Structure 1
Amino acid sequence: MTIQIGQTLPDIDIAVIDVDVDIRRASTASLFTGRKAVLFAMPGAFTPTCSERHLPGYVKHYEAFKARGVEVYGMAVNDAYVMKAWAASQHTPAGLLLLADGNGAFTSALGLETDGSAYGLGLRARRFALYADDGMVEQLYVEHPGELRVTTAEAMLAALPPR
Structure 2
Amino acid sequence: MTIQVGEKLPSATLYEFFHEETGGCALGPNKFDSASEAAGKKVAILALPGAYTPTCSAKHLPGFINKVNEFKAKGIDEIWCISVNDAFVMGAWGKELGAGGKVRMMADGVAEFTKAIGMELDLSARGLGIRSNRYSMLVEDGVVKSINLDPPGTFEHSSAEVLLQQLA
TM-score, normalising length: structure 2: 0.91
Root-mean-square deviation over aligned CA pairs: 1.3
2:150 & 2:63 partners in 1: Cα distance?
Answer: 16
Q: Secondary structure at the match of 2:89?
A: helix
Change (3 A) 1:95 1:19: farther
Give 2:143's aligned residue.
136
Contact 2:65 2:102 in 1 (8 A): no
Contact 1:18 1:95 in 2 (8 A): no
**In the alignment, does 2:15 pair up with 1:15?**
yes
Give 2:50's aligned residue.
44
Q: For structure 1, which segment, 87-96 or 49-58, has the greater mean C-alpha deviation from structure 2 after superposition?
A: 87-96
Contact 1:6 1:138 in 2 (8 A): yes
Give 2:24's aligned residue.
none
Give the share of equivalent positions with the same residue, in percent.
39
Gaps of 5+ in 1: none
1:3 & 1:17 partners in 2: Cα distance?
Answer: 27
Q: Give the AA of the match of 1:37.
A: V
1:103 & 1:46 partners in 2: Cα distance?
Answer: 18
Give 2:127's aligned residue.
120
Q: For structure 1, which segment, 87-96 or 114-123, has the greater mean C-alpha deviation from structure 2 after superposition?
A: 87-96
* Structure 1 stretches of 4+ moved >6 Å: none
**1:53-80 deviations in whole A, cap 9, x for unaligned?**
1001011001111122212101100011
